[in-house]
Amino acid sequence: MVKVKNMKLPNQVPLWLRRLRLVKAELKGMRFPHSAEEGFRQTAALSATSLRILKAEVRSGLAGADEQRLEIATRRLLARLSHADAQRLRVWKRERARCFGR
């Protein structure tokens, strides 16, 4: 084994690898489903809860709006989130290719 003095992490190392201790700590705190059915139920419950919270936030931002305006605002917000996620995915793929040559 070769010892390297004053070795620094290069900028090419992904952020999650630089923070591996935090990732490990988070994974240790997770409770993973024991079956596909349990995982599906957890996913459905989380989706319903997050959608309910999102609608409540939109409702609080548009006080006095009717249901149709609330629905339109919620859909617009979801479209913006989807667009932001697509941008994040493009950046991630570019970074993955830069770091790992894929």
SS (H, E, C) 4-51: CCCCCCCCCCCHHHHCHHHHHHHHHHCCCCCCHHHHHHHHHHHHHHHH
**pLDDT > 60? residue 9:** no
- In whole numbers, what is the pLDDT of the chain averaged over residues? 86
Assess whether pLDDT exceeds 70 at residue 3. no
pLDDT band at 101 (very low <50, low <70, confident <90, very high): confident
Tens digits of residue pLDDT in 47-65: 999 999 999 999 999 988 8
> What's the pLDDT score for residue 91?
95
